[in-house]
């Protein structure tokens, strides 16, 4: 008798443990599942318009620096990528902007505008680009890349189109 009592108590414990374990599993599982579904909803997986600054803050003829970060989600991995560049305003017309990517076209280091040198300088292999992004010196094979899709919002912000990834 006592043996079967012992057994049923053990069974009871097993069942209880099973239920509690299951509940814990559900509690842990829910956020995990939503995390797995999440990637499709992340900004990094989408094409988005990114604000780079106010048009009125950009002075004619002076490169205006900007930067932004996008988070890329790949399964369990989250990678943040930094982007940046310079907007060169040429007139009062917001369409008259040249928006350069500051990633060097040689090996992707970041170039910086130098007022003194009147050019974008790459610290990695001493390249120099003109204010309009043309190669003046060093190993880069082509001019700086240009953000061609941009717009002025009603709030006076310049936004550029950033592709997924």
Binding site for ligand FES (CB under 6 A): 104, 106-107, 109, 122, 124-125, 127, 138-140
For residue 146, the minimal CB distance to ligand FES (Å) is: 17
For residue 142, the minimal CB distance to ligand FES (Å) is: 12
CA–CA gap between residue 2 and residue 133 (Å, rounded): 89
Would you say 54 or 106 has its CB closer to ligand FES?
A: 106
Would you say 59 or 81 has its CB closer to ligand FES?
A: 81
Would you say 137 or 159 has its CB closer to ligand FES?
A: 137
For residue 73, the minimal CB distance to ligand FES (Å) is: 28
Whole-angstrom CA distances from 145 to 9, 22, 85, 103, 125 are 73, 54, 9, 8, 18
**Residue 99 neighbours by CB under 8 Å, 6+ apart:** 52, 85, 86, 87, 88, 146, 147, 148, 150, 158, 160
Whole-angstrom CA distances from 30 to 33, 99, 105 are 5, 43, 44
Task: Collapse the DSSP code of 42 into the 3-class scheme (helix H, G, I; strand E, B; otherwise coil) and give the result.
Answer: coil
For residue 141, the minimal CB distance to ligand FES (Å) is: 10
For residue 144, the minimal CB distance to ligand FES (Å) is: 10
Would you say 30 or 107 has its CB closer to ligand FES?
A: 107
User: Using an 8 Å Cβ cutoff, are 128 and 113 in contact?
Assistant: no
Would you say 73 or 135 has its CB closer to ligand FES?
A: 135
């Amino acid at each position: 008798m006592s043996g079967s009592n012992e057994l049923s108590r053990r069974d009871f414990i097993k069942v209880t443990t099973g239920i509690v374990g299951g509940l814990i599993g559900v509690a842990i599982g829910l956020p995990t599942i939503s995390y797995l579904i999440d990637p499709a909803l992340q900004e990094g997986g989408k094409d988005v318009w990114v604000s780079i600054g106010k048009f009125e803050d950009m002075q004619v003829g002076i490169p205006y620096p900007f930067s932004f970060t996008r988070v890329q989600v790949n399964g369990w991995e989250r990678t943040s990528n930094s982007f940046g560049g310079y907007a060169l305003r040429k007139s009062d017309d917001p369409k008259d902007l040249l928006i350069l990517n500051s990633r060097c076209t040689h090996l992707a280091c970041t170039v910086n505008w130098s007022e003194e040198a009147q050019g974008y300088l790459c610290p990695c292999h001493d390249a120099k680009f003109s204010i309009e992004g043309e190669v003046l010196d060093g190993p880069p094979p082509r001019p700086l890349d240009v953000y061609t899709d941009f717009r002025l919002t009603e709030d006076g912000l310049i936004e550029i189109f950033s592709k997924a990834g």
